[in-house]
Amino acid sequence: MPGLALGCVISNLVTGCAPWDVVFGSLATLIGAVGTYLLRKHPFTAPVPPILSNVLIVPYILSYVYGAEGTIPFFMLTVGAGEIISCGVFGTMLYLALRKHENIFKI
């Protein structure tokens, strides 16, 4: 989890994101990672924390930090749709595919 958050910070710094985006975007990632870890025994609910943390934080970054045109509810809808597709659908598909090959996780 710390590595994921640190990677997010580094990525945001390298790509020139605004300082508030670096802080709050990385915080959204960390919150989602911690929530996923806490739900690790319930893999089909594990995507919920990153979806919620990004839906609740990223729209404000887009609006107030970058001045993107649109409303907070619109950004929540669009960020939420992207998170549901990437974390919810593709993440669950990846989990199911990797679960069939559990031996790859044993060292």
Q: Is 106 left (phi over 0), alpha (psi -120 to 50) or beta?
A: beta
Whole-number pLDDT of residue 106: 63
Structure pTM? Answer: 0.86
Give the confidence band of 35 by pLDDT, cuts at 50, 70, 90: very high
Residue 102 has pLDDT above 80, yes or no: no
Yes or no: say if 39 and 48 are a contact pair by the CB < 8 Å rule: yes
How does pLDDT run across 38-92, given as a tens digit for each residue?
A: 998 998 999 999 999 999 999 999 999 999 999 999 999 999 999 999 999 999 9
For the chain, first and last CA: distance in Å?
20
